[in-house]
Chains A and B, each alone.
Chain A
Amino acid sequence: MIQFSDEAREHILRFLEEDSAADLSVRLRVANPSPVNPQYEMLLIEPHERESTDEVQDADGFEVVIDPESARILEGTRIDWVDSLQGGGFQFDNPNIKPLGSEPLTGPLADRVERVITERINPSVAMHGGAVSLVDIRDNVVYLRMSGGCQGCGMASVTLTQGIKQVLHDAVPEIVDVRDVTDHAAGEDPYYSAAK
């Protein structure tokens, strides 16, 4: 079941009123279920755009149409409306896609990864003014964030694939992958800047 806040419902009803087409419903879709940057789509659709496999939910004033895979991922999601300087938008609070780093990291695997980062990786990248921090571990995939000289560095992907991954795989073999979730575009003091 998907829940809508009163404000979200009001906005959807207003969009439906403003559209001249008849018998519109709201299609929800999970465009990208990544925990790094989950993406959802909300579209007004006409009856002929429904699929026979779609699940349909009554949302008190309008119908919500969802493909089966999205319905599975969206189960229990609450949709709210959030105002912002850009004009506001819908916000999905999905218990099935928890953003990375939203829960405290505990357990022996996280401890071992933290120790490798602290004792082997960070002393080395510090020589380039950088630092690496553990953001999350999901299904034995490690998510890292780079900062300082590593953030925005033209060689950050080399540091990741040719250094960090290898060190972590050697020390913690059950790790299946290491992913960088750094916002490199926001880096202000990269050790190497791309040019030419």
Chain B
Amino acid sequence: MSEPAARVLLLLASNSYKAEDFLGAVGDLALRVTVGSDHEAALASEAPGSTLALDFDDPEASLDRIVAYHETEPIDAIVAAEDEGALLAARAAAALALRHNPPAAVEAARYKDRARERLSAAGLLSPPFRSYPARADPERVAAAGPIPCVVKPVSLSASRGVIRADGEAELAAAFRRCREILAAAREEHPGLHPERILVEGFVPGAEVALEGLLSGGDLRPLAILDKPDPLEGPYFEETLFVTPSRLPAEDRAEVVRTTERAARALGLREGPVHAELRINERGVWPIELAPRSIGGLCSRLFRYRSGVALEELILRHALGRSLPDPDQELAAAVLMLPTPRAGTLREVANLEAAAAVPGIEDVVISVPKGSEVVPLPEGHRYLGFLFARGETPEEVEAALRRAHEALEIVIE
């Protein structure tokens, strides 16, 4: 008699972009899956055991639920798709003796101030920084500097609440605004977002991202992604990711080395990592390193010659299975469609024209018509994603820019 398929507990936030891609990979691997999420699934009562309602704000109670579930439905791996479930995944996997990151390492990576402390202590290039309670006096914060600086809520992702300040008055204003953004996020998830704000020196230079997999602390780089749009502030809206990177080989090697050192400094050992780094004349500066894959739908830009998706690599790694060669087939890029202004999204028009641009592979609008949309730093969702594939990074970047120009975004 054949053994039952392995069971994966997949932790998904209810506002996840990644459900479809991870569940598709689960299907490709013929795994059994239980979805743990911060919502009661619509058919939970009709299909008991296939989903697990968790509270990412209450990791203790959620941990107990996972352990109890494991007694009747043994779990072979736990994977968190986003930041929200990462710490719970680490703690639950530790409790069940499954492959995992040390929870303390995930916690350090999760909170930007703790991450900065560890990275700095490990001797990695780090700007001066200070961490404050959100209730701190903005004028005192401003007087302490540094200038120029970037203000960040310690736990929010996707550049939400991240604001550059070039003078004391700007810093005080940025701190106040950041505090309001954090308060709004805490209304939804008070347990996930501590009331702390990081002020760190602005690091000039080109920004890149690295997507990789850690195994026993060793980094397997999957891609280095250029971000060709300048990220100088005052807000840090990420738009383009292009791979392969056009950095010189020695810079690419240093990006990999720095990411691996940063992961070690944080204590991360297993699973996906998404790192953001800046490069200037002094070297490679780790900005953030998250124990998860790239955000939004961006992972769809990876297409390996072996035919597997990034999500399949992550699941295989979590189960301790062999990994196919992650050899990217062609140059690829994604453009996260920014929100140009606040209002009601009436339409994203000319989709056919954008899709018809040579090299464009897909155009996905992910915000429903009629939705209220807000740009950064308050906003936290992109209007959609454009994907391009081609022979060279220049070609795919140009295709995305042309396709973006073709779109007409109607916000009233």
Segment touching B, from A18-26, A105-113, A137-145, A183-191 = A183-191
Give the number of residue pairs across the A-B interface with Cβ within 8 Å.
Answer: 110
Chain A interface residue count, Cβ-Cβ cutoff 8 angstroms: 33
A196 neighbours in B (Cβ, 8 Å)? 13, 15, 17, 82, 157-158, 160, 295-296, 380-381
Of chain B, the residue at the smallest CB distance from A163 is: B43
Name the B residues within 8 Å of A194 (CB-CB). 15-17, 296, 366, 381
Is chain B's interface secondary structure helix, strand, loop, or mixed overall? loop
Contacts of A188 in B (CB 8 A): 368-370
With A157-B20, A161-B23 as contacts: A195 and B46 at CB distance below 8 Å: no
B368 neighbours in A (Cβ, 8 Å): 152, 187-190, 193
A142 to B188 Cα, complex, angstroms? 37
CB contact list, B3-60 vs A, under 8 A: 12-17, 19-20, 23-24, 26-27, 33-35, 37, 39, 41-47, 50-51
Asked if B50 and A163 make an inter-chain contact with CB atoms under 8 angstroms apart, the answer reads yes
B45 x A124 contact (CB < 8 A)? yes
- Contact: B23 with A193, CB < 8 Å? no
B371 in contact (CB, < 8 A): yes
Flag whether A91 is at the interface (Cβ < 8 A): no
> Given A125-B43, A193-B368, are A162 and B35 also a contact pair (CB < 8 Å)?
yes
Contact yes or no, B366 A163, CB < 8 A: no
Other-chain residue from A86, A158, A189, A190 in contact with B41 (beta carbon distance below 8 A): A158
Known: A124-B45, A163-B42, A193-B367. Is A158-B15 also a contact (CB below 8 A)?
Answer: no
- Which of A152, A167, A187, A192 is B47 in contact with, Cβ under 8 Å? A167
- Beta-carbon nearest neighbor of A124 in chain B: B43
What residues on B are CB-neighbors of A120 within 8 Å? 46
Contact A195 B35 (CB under 8 A): no
Task: Name the A residues within 8 Å of B26 (CB-CB).
Answer: 161
A166 contacts across to B, CB distance below 8 A: 43, 46-47, 50
In the complex, residue of chain B having the shortest beta-carbon distance to the beta carbon of A116: B46
Interface bits A67-85 vs B (CB < 8 Å: 1, else 0): 0000000000000000000
The answer to whether the Cβ of B365 comes within 8 Å of any Cβ in the partner chain is yes
Question: Apart from A152-B368, A158-B51, A196-B13, what are 14 other A-B pairs with CB-CB below 8 Å?
Answer: A121-B46, A154-B16, A155-B37, A155-B42, A158-B35, A158-B37, A158-B41, A159-B43, A162-B34, A167-B47, A188-B370, A194-B17, A196-B296, A196-B380
Q: List 16 A-B contacts (CB under 8 A).
A: A120-B46, A127-B42, A154-B14, A158-B35, A158-B41, A158-B51, A161-B33, A162-B35, A162-B43, A163-B42, A166-B50, A185-B365, A187-B368, A189-B368, A190-B368, A192-B15
- Seen from chain B, the residues whose Cβ lies within 8 Å of a Cβ on chain A are 12-17, 19-20, 23-24, 26-27, 33-35, 37, 39, 41-47, 50-51, 82, 157-158, 160, 295-296, 352, 364-371, 380-381
8 interchain residue pairs of minimum CB distance: A163-B43, A195-B381, A166-B47, A162-B50, A157-B20, A194-B17, A195-B15, A125-B42
